[in-house]
């Protein structure tokens, strides 16, 4: 019940020639209830199904040291019952009605979803509205569930060499930013967490004026609004804590770290501090960074695959990733695994050489056009899933921008020039902004000593 | 083809509502190409896109002693043709926004193309796809590189206790039978594979009589017919793959293996032989497994191991029905100190279930969940394509989807109990633990 890295950039953008098929404004409806709850409805009548998502604007980036992981722990406890629907009644009712349900916590959001036959939407609303303000949070449930959360942490991070390395890298790359700490929380904080703290977190953040309801599927928007009023209208609004502004510290130079753990494969992860769509002082820069990432790593014809994996055969995988739709400053990331017989140092130099190339030589028209075409096509393909359609609205709204940013995104992508791509490479992909981490497997060291 | 809404009228004891189910897109058309490749087609015009899968009976069960050969062959299909280099193939696809992928499992080797349906985008993608299917060159330099990639994938698996445990449970269930080894192979077998092995494997299995095509999306049937012919016209006729030998229980099927592995958590797997896809007990076992360990949050395993005791993040059981008997596996991970408790509880849950079957209430919940959730299995082109491949490859009846809910609805408690008693001997489960079980004792 936790999602971390998302290849968000693959799902945005579009070109004019397909704009009729892609025009989301025809079917996305937006409403605000009296208590501040915001509702978005995306009609899609291909199949008699619906997805209902309730997003809360709270996640690990809202947490302070000592309380890390509390948003995610609360997400687990949301399945433990209310007075009206105690214990597993919620899951049982959705299950009996053929639904799927789950939840996801990220840095900027916590969201809950049900996927159902479209005539079952009232059930999802009744249950979600109830647990928006009536959660019981019993000590005996918490005592067991926090152990489940720790097992989840062991599974995803502690016993996963890449997960462990990424956690350390991310903590080094983000200095004062709350992106510093892991979504699932440090184990020491999980060990100290109390149900009283969860109650406080719940009453502080779970309120209609901090919630976004997104519905996509075979429904009528006006009918969904009526339903939403019926179930959510009476929940009182909360006084939310004032939003704090975070300004990340200036990076002041290269940061490197090594992670020594039992593993088989060495791994390189590098990140340059960059703005997001919400923090960028220059509006076009995140879009130029998005195209930069696409030219490097969108598909088998992109530069990292063509040059590093195939051409030089120096890496068995190599990727570039930039996610513009986040709340705070973020990282433009590279990660790679050296091919057998190649070193981390060789891979690092090859990536740096690709970056230099971007700074000194303009990207070709064909490359830029291909990247735009792929982003356009991926936007078309994203319509195949109602869940994806709903999530795109939820991500954008939960970070404080609008789902309409996708339309803007499209226009911006079309307007970006090779010169602008070169400009962001020169401005941001510089050593002073870089954090570089290497997973150095302990077992591999032994092999190296033998050879 | 019977449409769902017609079927609804014929059923008396409906546990699902007569919602607008005629909108479910299950009207699968089928025919053969000029050279006899079966085609499965669904029209879905709402999004201007098209998904095509070309599937061969050429999974890792066909590796022989060269473990990893099927996967290597399939992953080399886009590495070059007589006409185009690997770079050109990638550029030809991506300059029109098409996505290509190749997937291999124990039964199937699949090639998947997703393209925009606009003719100016679709035609170049199809031309590239057709050339790749029929004229791959398997360059030796590419083979070396993909062997290296595979070695790295194997190493990534070796640093995960879960992946190691998965490999061992298959080993314990299948011994030296065709499903025993991992799809990606083993280090020593992968490095030994030669270019000629790959060419031979392709020539034997990537033939018209061993293929099927599934097409879903924004093309009319006439156009789908032309596309299927275009993609297969240069395939050799060849021979269908021989039937796999029936799987046998090992004589020591209750064997167990404990592997030391660093870390704070231990992967636990219990397993035995399950069923082949064509088994008559398929539906009772699907429903029964939903009660036992298939339904998240509510199944017996999930309730006992996670909800009541907080021992794990996930606890599941599943059948993986295949051409011949696939496995039945119970899977979970727990902190090292709790391995014995988690294993004992799981075994107890399994034994009780096999001995007594589900309660009436549990059976009702499972059936309601599966039947009510049926539309979710068909709500996207991706989902439809997966269903069509399943129907085509395992030769399920063409009304499989239309009759699915009826088949689930008819399952009785007695059938579930009998099916589990017949297929699962809870006293003879192979057991694997991979973890640092000494650490916390």
Count of other CB atoms within 10 angstroms of residue B165: 25
Tell me what percent of the residues of chain B surpass a pLDDT of 70: 94
Interchain pair A385, B382: CB under 8 A: yes
B207-220 pLDDT per residue, tens: 999 999 999 999 99
Of B21, B49, B156, the CB nearest to A380: B49
Q: Has residue A273 got a pLDDT over 70?
A: yes
Q: Has residue B102 got a pLDDT over 60?
A: yes
Closest-CA distance, A78 to chain B, in angstroms, reads 13
Which residues from A are below 8 Å from B437, CB to CB?
Answer: none
Q: Report A:24-63 residues touching B (Cβ under 8 A).
A: 45-49
* Distance, CA of A49 to chain centre: 25
Tell whether A75 is within 8 A of chain B (Cβ): no
Interchain pair B94, A263: CB under 8 A: no
Between CA B80 and CA B140 the distance in angstroms is: 11
- Looking at residue B322, the DSSP 8-state letter turns out to be B
Give the model's confidence band at A9: pLDDT under 50 very low, under 70 low, under 90 confident, else very high.
Answer: very low
A177-195 burial, b for 16+ CB within 10 Å, e for fewer? bbbbbbbbbbbebbeebeb
Q: Give the bridge partners for B38, in sequence order.
A: B32
Count chain A–chain B contacts defined by CB atoms under 8 A.
215
B112-134 pLDDT per residue, tens: 999 999 999 999 999 999 999 99
Tell whether B363 is within 8 A of chain A (Cβ): no
State phi, psi for B229 to the nearest 5 degrees.
-65, -40
Q: Has residue A3 got a pLDDT over 70?
A: no
Tell whether A317 is within 8 A of chain B (Cβ): yes
In degrees, rounded to 5, the angle at the alpha carbon of residue B391 between the alpha carbons of residues B389 and B396 is 160
Asked if A290 contacts A284 with a C-beta cutoff of 8 angstroms, the reply is no
Asked if A263 contacts B159 with a C-beta cutoff of 8 angstroms, the reply is yes
- pLDDT of the residue at B326: 97
Tell whether A220 is within 8 A of chain B (Cβ): no
Between CA A367 and CA A253 the distance in angstroms is: 32
Q: Which chain B residue has its CA at the smallest distance from A382's CA? A: B47
Tell whether B125 is within 8 A of chain A (Cβ): no
Tell whether B245 is within 8 A of chain A (Cβ): no
Give the model's confidence band at A244: pLDDT under 50 very low, under 70 low, under 90 confident, else very high.
Answer: confident
- pLDDT of the residue at A17: 35
Token pair listed for A24? 């989301």
Of A95, A148, A370, the CB nearest to B295: A95
Taking residues B187-199, report their average pLDDT: 98
Q: Report B:179-238 residues touching A (Cβ under 8 A).
A: none
Closest-CA distance, B321 to chain A, in angstroms, reads 23
Helices (H) and strands (E) in chain B, counts: 16, 11
Q: What is the mean pLDDT of chain B?
A: 93
- pLDDT of the residue at B437: 76
- pLDDT of the residue at B250: 83
Which residues from B are below 8 Å from A47, CB to CB?
Answer: 23-25, 375, 378-380
Interchain pair B376, A119: CB under 8 A: no
> Counting Cβ atoms within 10 Å, is residue B438 exposed (0-12), middle (13-18) or buried (19+)?
exposed
Taking residues A55-63, report their average pLDDT: 97
Interchain pair B44, A46: CB under 8 A: yes
Q: Which chain A residue has its CA at the smallest distance from B24's CA? A: A47
Least confidently predicted of A143-147, A419-423, B5-9: B5-9
Closest-CA distance, A440 to chain B, in angstroms, reads 13
Q: Has residue A6 got a pLDDT over 60?
A: no
Which residues from A are below 8 Å from B48, CB to CB?
Answer: 18, 21, 380
Where do runs of H (alpha helix) occur along A134-186? 139-153, 161-173
Interchain pair B312, A148: CB under 8 A: yes
Tell whether A432 is within 8 A of chain B (Cβ): no
Interchain pair B159, A263: CB under 8 A: yes
Q: What is the mean pLDDT of chain A?
A: 91
Asked if B121 contacts B115 with a C-beta cutoff of 8 angstroms, the reply is yes
Between CA A51 and CA B286 the distance in angstroms is: 25
Least confidently predicted of A5-9, A347-351, B103-107, B369-373: A5-9
Give the model's confidence band at A14: pLDDT under 50 very low, under 70 low, under 90 confident, else very high.
Answer: very low
Closest-CA distance, A100 to chain B, in angstroms, reads 8
Task: Choose, out of A80, A151, A163, A443, the residue to mutate when testing the contact with B (most B CBs < 10 Å).
Answer: A151
Taking residues B31-38, report their average pLDDT: 97
Tell whether A264 is within 8 A of chain B (Cβ): yes
Taking residues A216-244, report their average pLDDT: 95
Tokens 């449970």 correspond to B169
Q: Has residue A4 got a pLDDT over 70?
A: no
Q: Find all residues with CB under 8 Å of A236, minimum gap 6, and list them.
A: A35, A133, A207, A208
Q: Give the bridge partners for A55, in sequence order.
A: A111, A212
Tell whether B88 is within 8 A of chain A (Cβ): no
Between CA A382 and CA A371 the distance in angstroms is: 16
Tell whether A119 is within 8 A of chain B (Cβ): yes
Closest-CA distance, A255 to chain B, in angstroms, reads 27
pTM recorded for the entire structure: 0.93
Residue B102 Rama label (left phi>0; alpha psi -120 to 50; beta)? beta
Q: Has residue B397 got a pLDDT over 50?
A: yes
Tell whether B49 is within 8 A of chain A (Cβ): yes
- pLDDT of the residue at A168: 98
Interchain pair A161, B295: CB under 8 A: no
Please choose, from the candidates A136, A123, A113, the residue with its C-alpha nearest in 3D space to the C-alpha of residue A385: A113
- Report how far apart, in Å, the C-alpha atoms of B388 and of each of A426, B1, B28, B319 are: 49, 14, 8, 20
A328-362 pLDDT per residue, tens: 999 999 999 999 999 999 999 999 999 999 999 99
Least confidently predicted of A5-9, A244-248, B197-201: A5-9
Which residues from B are below 8 Å from A69, CB to CB?
Answer: none
- Report how far apart, in Å, the C-alpha atoms of A41 and of each of A395, A403, B205 are: 14, 11, 48
- pLDDT of the residue at B251: 76
Closest-CA distance, B166 to chain A, in angstroms, reads 15
Q: Has residue B106 got a pLDDT over 90?
A: yes
Taking residues B248-260, report their average pLDDT: 87
- pLDDT of the residue at A245: 79
Which residues from A are below 8 Å from B167, CB to CB?
Answer: none
Of A119, A144, A339, the CB nearest to B17: A119
Tell me what percent of the residues of chain B surpass a pLDDT of 90: 91
Interchain pair A161, B159: CB under 8 A: yes
Q: Has residue A23 got a pLDDT over 60?
A: no
- pLDDT of the residue at B412: 98
Tell whether B370 is within 8 A of chain A (Cβ): yes
Tell whether A263 is within 8 A of chain B (Cβ): yes
Q: Which chain A residue has its CA at the smallest distance from B146's CA? A: A316
Taking residues A81-100, report their average pLDDT: 96
Where do runs of H (alpha helix) occur along A9-116? 19-22, 70-77, 89-96
- pLDDT of the residue at B439: 55
Asked if A443 contacts A171 with a C-beta cutoff of 8 angstroms, the reply is no
Q: Give the bridge partners for B373, in sequence order.
A: none
Tell me what percent of the residues of chain A surpass a pLDDT of 70: 92
In degrees, rounded to 5, the angle at the alpha carbon of residue A78 between the alpha carbons of residues A74 and A80 is 115
Interchain pair B99, A117: CB under 8 A: no
ipTM above 0.85, yes or no: yes
Task: Choose, out of A80, A316, A413, A443, the residue to mutate when testing the contact with B (most B CBs < 10 Å).
Answer: A316
Closest-CA distance, B91 to chain A, in angstroms, reads 5
Helix (H) or strand (E) holding B167: helix B161-174
Give the model's confidence band at A409: pLDDT under 50 very low, under 70 low, under 90 confident, else very high.
Answer: confident
Q: Find all residues with CB under 8 Å of A54, minimum gap 6, and list them.
A: A111, A112, A113, A128, A132, A211, A212, A213
Interchain pair B265, A262: CB under 8 A: no
Tell whether A92 is within 8 A of chain B (Cβ): yes
Which residues from A are below 8 Å from B381, CB to CB?
Answer: 384
B152-168 pLDDT per residue, tens: 999 999 999 999 999 99
Between CA A213 and CA A52 the distance in angstroms is: 7
Taking residues A302-320, report their average pLDDT: 97
Of B20, B158, B374, the CB nearest to A264: B158
Between CA A368 and CA B331 the distance in angstroms is: 46
Tell me what percent of the residues of chain A surpass a pLDDT of 90: 87
Which residues from A are below 8 Å from B308, CB to CB?
Answer: 144
Of A298, A340, A370, the CB nearest to B148: A340
Q: Has residue A426 got a pLDDT over 90?
A: yes
Which residues from B are below 8 Å from A143, CB to CB?
Answer: 310
């Amino acid at each position: 019940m936790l999602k971390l890295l998302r290849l968000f950039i693959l799902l945005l953008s579009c070109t004019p020639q397909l704009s009729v098929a892609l025009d989301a404004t025809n079917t996305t409806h937006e409403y605000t209830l009296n208590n501040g709850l915001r509702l978005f409805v995306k009609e899609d009548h291909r199949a008699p199904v619906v997805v209902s998502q309730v997003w809360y604007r709270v996640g690990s980036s809202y947490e302070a040291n000592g309380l890390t992981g509390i948003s995610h722990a609360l997400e687990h406890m949301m399945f433990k019952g209310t007075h009206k629907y105690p214990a597993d009644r919620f899951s049982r009712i959705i299950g009996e009605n053929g639904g799927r349900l789950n939840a996801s916590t990220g840095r900027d959001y916590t969201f809950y979803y049900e996927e159902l036959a479209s005539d079952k939407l009232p059930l999802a609303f009744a249950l979600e509205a109830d647990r928006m303000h009536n959660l019981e949070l019993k000590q005996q449930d918490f005592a067991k569930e926090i152990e489940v959360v720790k097992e989840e942490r062991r599974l995803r991070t502690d016993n996963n060499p890449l997960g462990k390395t990424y956690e350390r890298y991310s903590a080094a790359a983000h200095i004062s930013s709350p992106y510093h700490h892991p979504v699932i929380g440090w184990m020491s904080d999980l060990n100290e967490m109390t149900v009283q703290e969860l109650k406080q977190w719940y009453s502080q953040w779970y309120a209609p004026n901090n919630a976004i309801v997104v519905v996509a599927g075979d429904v009528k928007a006006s009918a969904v609004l009526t339903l939403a009023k019926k179930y959510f209208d009476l929940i009182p609004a909360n006084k939310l804590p004032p939003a704090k502004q975070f300004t990340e510290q200036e990076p002041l130079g290269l940061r490197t770290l090594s992670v020594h753990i039992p593993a088989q494969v060495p791994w390189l992860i590098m990140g340059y501090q960059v703005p997001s769509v919400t923090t960028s002082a220059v509006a076009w820069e995140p879009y130029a960074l998005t195209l930069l990432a696409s030219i490097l790593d969108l598909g088998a014809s992109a530069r990292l695959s063509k040059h590093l994996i195939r051409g030089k055969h120096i890496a068995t995988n190599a990727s570039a990733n930039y996610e513009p739709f986040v709340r705070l400053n973020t990282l433009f990331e590279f990660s790679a695994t050296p091919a057998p017989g190649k070193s981390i140092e060789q891979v690092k130099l090859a990536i740096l050489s690709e970056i230099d190339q971007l700074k000194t030589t303009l990207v070709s028209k064909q490359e830029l056009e291909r990247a735009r075409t792929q982003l356009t096509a991926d936007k078309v393909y994203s319509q195949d899933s109602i869940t994806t359609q709903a999530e795109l609205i939820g991500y954008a709204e939960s970070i404080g921008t609008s789902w309409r940013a996708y339309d803007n995104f499209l226009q911006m992508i079309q307007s970006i020039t090779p010169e602008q791509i070169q400009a962001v490479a020169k401005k941001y992909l510089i050593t002073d902004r870089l954090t570089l981490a290497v997973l150095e497997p302990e077992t591999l060291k032994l092999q190296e000593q033998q050879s | 083809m019977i449409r769902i809404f017609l079927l609804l009228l014929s059923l008396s004891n409906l546990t699902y509502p007569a919602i607008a189910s005629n909108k479910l897109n299950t009207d699968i058309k089928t025919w053969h190409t000029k050279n006899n490749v079966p085609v499965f087609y669904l029209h879905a015009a709402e999004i201007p896109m098209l998904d095509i899968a070309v599937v061969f009976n050429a999974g890792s069960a066909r590796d022989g002693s060269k473990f990893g050969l099927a996967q290597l062959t399939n992953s080399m299909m886009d590495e070059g043709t007589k006409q185009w280099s690997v770079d050109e193939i990638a550029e030809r696809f991506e300059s029109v926004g098409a996505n290509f992928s190749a997937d291999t499992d124990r039964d199937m080797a699949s090639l998947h193309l997703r393209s925009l349906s606009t003719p100016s985008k679709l035609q170049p993608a199809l031309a590239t796809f057709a050339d790749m299917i029929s004229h791959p060159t398997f360059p030796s330099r590419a083979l070396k590189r993909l062997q290296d990639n595979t070695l790295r994938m194997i190493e990534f698996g070796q640093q995960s206790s879960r992946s190691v445990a998965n490999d061992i449970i298959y080993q314990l269930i299948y011994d030296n039978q065709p499903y025993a080894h991992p799809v990606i192979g083993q280090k020593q077998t992968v490095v030994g594979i030669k270019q000629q092995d790959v060419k031979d494997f392709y020539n034997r299995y990537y033939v018209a009589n061993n293929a099927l095509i599934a097409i879903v999306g924004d093309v009319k049937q006439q156009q789908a017919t032309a596309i299927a012919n275009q993609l297969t016209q240069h395939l050799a006729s060849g021979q269908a793959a021989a039937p796999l030998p029936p799987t046998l229980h090992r004589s020591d099927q209750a064997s167990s293996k404990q592997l030391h592995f660093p870390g704070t958590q231990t992967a636990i797997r219990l397993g035995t032989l399950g069923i082949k896809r064509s088994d008559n007990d398929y539906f009772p076992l699907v429903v029964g497994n939903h009660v036992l360990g298939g339904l998240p949050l509510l199944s017996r395993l999930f309730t006992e191991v996670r909800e009541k005791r907080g021992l794990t993040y996930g606890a599941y059981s599943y059948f993986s029905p295949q051409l011949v008997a696939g496995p039945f596996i119970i899977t979970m991970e727990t902190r090292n100190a709790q391995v014995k408790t988690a294993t004992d509880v799981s075994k107890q849950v399994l034994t009780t279930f096999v001995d007594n079957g589900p309660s009436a209430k549990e059976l009702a919940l499972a059936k309601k969940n599966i039947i009510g959730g049926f539309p979710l299995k068909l709500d996207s082109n991706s989902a439809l394509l997966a269903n069509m491949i399943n129907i085509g490859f395992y030769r399920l009846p063409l009304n499989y989807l239309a009759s699915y809910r009826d088949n689930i609805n008819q399952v009785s408690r007695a059938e579930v109990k009998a099916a589990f008693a017949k297929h699962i001997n809870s006293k003879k489960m192979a057991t694997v633990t991979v973890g640092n079980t000494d650490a916390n004792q």
